[in-house]
Chains A and B, each alone.
Chain A
Amino acid sequence: MELTFSNLTKRYKDKTAVNALSVTLTPGIYGLLGANGAGKTTLMRMTCGILNPTSGMVLLDGKDTLSMGESYRDLLGYLPQHFGYYPVFTAMDYLLYVAALKGLSASAAKVRANELLELVSLQSVSKKKIKTFSGGMKRRLGIAQALLNDPKILVLDEPTAGLDPKERVRFRNLISEISKDKIVILSTHIVSDVEYIADKILVMKDGCLIHQGKPDEITATINGYVWGCRVDPGQAEMLNSEYTISNLKHEGNEDMLRIVSEYRPTKNAVQVEPTLEDLYLYYFSEECSNEKNDKN
């Protein structure tokens, strides 16, 4: 199975959300990294046929997915960034409803819904209305609905948003378990979510795919750009305003900094092994500081 994005472009009035993106995906887990507005969600929505591309195509084994229609959508499981649910439905009702939409028979839907509720630890609240659920519970229900039809192509947009660390670990394990013979595309801001399980990372910026590869290959592209150093708190503050700091830890009278920079930031700085988070910060430090400023 090959899912190919061929020169995929989506333009809105004054913005190109996805710009001539081309990549071929084979079964495996793909972590989609990018700052807000990088085009991840647009790409995922085009993958699911919710948005039509301005130009280019999404091809499955060489066939245009738009023309495949039902036979393509039968292979899809999708969790949108904003998971829309029906508040008055119970978790079980909701899964049965989506299962019916996905073409499962009533008996098969019941079995599958129970399995998935168990899998996402919602079995005990299966008869409770979704409106009473916490954010994390809703997210888990969203993941369950995406898996109902045992999809061959699973598209998860920010699946771990709102999940606590324990739930995130469960989710990662779950995705690893079910990913055999599937193409799983998941976007997240939480880099560690994809770092451990993704076979390949796709990095998007301004609608373009700027990097792709295995996590270690891709982090290798910033080899020599990550530094570790010990400085006094005054200097740490100064460095913080000048460089992208990926970690800051107080140790006694000193601060231990992890800095992402193409140049040695201090005389005593030593090169350290880059991580995916460093890579993210390297490419998106500007967007990250903008987000920080927006929040402030």
Chain B
Amino acid sequence: MHIFILELKRLTKTRIIWISIGLAVVLSVVMAFSAISNEEYDYTGKNGNMESITGVSAIAANKKQMAPYEGKVTVSELQSDLKIFHKLVNKYGENIPSDIFLKEITPRFQRLNLIASWYSSSQSTFTALEKVQPDDIQNFYIQRNQKLQSAVESKYPHNSAVKNAVMSLNSKVKTPFTYFYGLPNNSFFILDFLIFLLLLICVVINTPVFSAEYQTGSDDILRSTRNGRTKLAVSKLLAALLIDLVLFAVSLAIFILVVDKTFGWERLLSSAQMNNVFLFLPITVGQEQALLILAGFFTLFATACFSMFLSAKCRSSTTTLILAVAFCLFPEILYLITQGTGNFTGLLGCILPSGGLGINNNLFYQLGKMLFIQVGAFSIWSPYLIMGAAIVEIPLFFILSVRAYCKHQVA
């Protein structure tokens, strides 16, 4: 404990730590601002033209407009929305006047979008809705289950275990869905990206932990003091991880507080299926957000431990940093090259320490992808694999780092 506090004090005296924490705070504010400023509210201006506002005032206006449409998304409401849509299309075709569109379609858009994506994922919302009749969705939720089952069977035709797992989870999805304004599609993407940037900052903090001491020779003095190598290594690792944790917690707290407070906490009660109709995990948007944060936390810590393992192995902090950043970006690069196809590359993208974080290869997308990776005799859902691998890698790389530090010897 004594050495841990000493190491912590030493780290907090270095400029890089404060710059990193400052950068993380700035990033979280910028990202929160970005999530808020992307929100748009369209209305008909005094001269009859469509005008827009963005940001906080758009959120307030949207909230007011959407209030009557919040709550349970019943089949009869969906049918009613569809009827209104067809009525307007019959009257105006595809060129619905903007004032009518804003008044009748925009507030119903989330629910209409639900029907459209349920009907067809490959067609535009408008085209899909034109083809669906209100009577077609009188058993919307039952039909959704059937469509989900067909999709699983078609993607994994000879794998009943996958089908059973999907349908078992799906059976717990609460219907009818619940909707509150502020579905966080965009802010979840930004949240994932923020965690990815935090991960890179943590790598910058963690890579010098051992290698810089080897490089400067200060490690020799530490090793000749009364504390053994194991105690030193564990203290150094824990101190660096605590700083990572503070950085992560502060940054995420700012982001979540700003974004959720602005959009309204009640949005977290929405069914996650309102974002992705075929998501078979029985969770709300709030639980989905918690899952993304938890997965981000595990991934960040797994990567932090991995980068400290590299640090314990390499003699130069520059080499460590280059290697660690390369490993961080590898799952993302792999995804860009393979577009997520192929079992082995999919597996690599999930099990590498930074798997599940990035612009494309992130957990938020993986949740909606219904991607099962074959690992030996088992088919594992990619989000489970990402989380599981990270949870295993944290103690694994922690122990390997301690071992590498203890074994490190330089002539």
Residues of A participating in the B interface, judged by any CB pair closer than 8 Å? 12, 17, 42, 45, 48-52, 69-70, 73-74, 76-78, 80-86, 88-89, 93, 97-98, 100-103, 145, 155
Contacts of A103 in B (CB 8 A): 225-226
A80-B221, A101-B6 given; A85·B227 CB < 8 A = no
Check B22 for interface membership: any CB of A closer than 8 A. Answer: no
Smallest distance from the beta carbon of A76 to chain B beta carbons, Å? 5
Max count, chain A CB within 10 A of own CB: residue among B10, B15, B216, B220: B220
Residues of B participating in the A interface, judged by any CB pair closer than 8 Å? 2-3, 6, 9-10, 13-15, 213, 216-228, 409-411
Instruction: Tell me, in angstroms, the Cα distance from A198 to B88 when the chains sit together.
Output: 103
Chain B, Cβ-Cβ closest to A142: B221
Asked if A52 and B14 make an inter-chain contact with CB atoms under 8 angstroms apart, the answer reads no
Asked if A98 and B221 make an inter-chain contact with CB atoms under 8 angstroms apart, the answer reads yes
Asked if B409 and A52 make an inter-chain contact with CB atoms under 8 angstroms apart, the answer reads yes
Contacts of A102 in B (CB 8 A): 225-226
Asked if B13 and A89 make an inter-chain contact with CB atoms under 8 angstroms apart, the answer reads yes
Known contacts A89-B13, A97-B9; can you find 20 more A-B pairs with CB under 8 A?
Answer: A48-B224, A51-B409, A51-B410, A52-B409, A70-B227, A73-B228, A78-B224, A80-B217, A80-B221, A81-B217, A82-B216, A83-B217, A84-B216, A84-B218, A84-B220, A86-B14, A97-B6, A100-B6, A101-B227, A155-B224
Chain B, Cβ-Cβ closest to A78: B224
Instruction: Tell me, in angstroms, the Cα distance from A3 to B223 when the chains sit together.
Output: 19
Instruction: Tell me, in angstroms, the Cα distance from A199 to B216 when the chains sit together.
Output: 32
Contacts of B224 in A (CB 8 A): 48-50, 73, 76-78, 155
* Contact sample, A vs B, 7 pairs, CB 8 Å cutoff: A51-B410, A80-B217, A83-B221, A85-B218, A98-B225, A102-B226, A155-B224
Contacts of B6 in A (CB 8 A): 97, 100-101
Max count, chain B CB within 10 A of own CB: residue among A49, A69, A101: A101
Asked if A78 and B220 make an inter-chain contact with CB atoms under 8 angstroms apart, the answer reads yes
Contacts of B219 in A (CB 8 A): 84
Asked if B226 and A101 make an inter-chain contact with CB atoms under 8 angstroms apart, the answer reads yes
Instruction: Tell me, in angstroms, the Cα distance from A76 to B221 when the chains sit together.
Output: 10
Contacts of A98 in B (CB 8 A): 221, 225
Asked if A49 and B223 make an inter-chain contact with CB atoms under 8 angstroms apart, the answer reads yes
Chain B, Cβ-Cβ closest to A83: B217
A97-B6, A101-B6 given; A45·B220 CB < 8 A = yes
Smallest distance from the beta carbon of B36 to chain A beta carbons, Å? 38
Contacts of A97 in B (CB 8 A): 6, 9-10
Instruction: Tell me, in angstroms, the Cα distance from A145 to B223 when the chains sit together.
Output: 14
Asked if B411 and A12 make an inter-chain contact with CB atoms under 8 angstroms apart, the answer reads yes
Task: Choose one: B2, B10, B220, B228; the contact of A80 (CB below 8 Å).
Answer: B220
Max count, chain A CB within 10 A of own CB: residue among B3, B13, B219: B13
Instruction: Tell me, in angstroms, the Cα distance from A74 to B14 when the chains sit together.
Output: 28
Asked if B221 and A69 make an inter-chain contact with CB atoms under 8 angstroms apart, the answer reads no
Contacts of A101 in B (CB 8 A): 3, 6, 222, 225-227
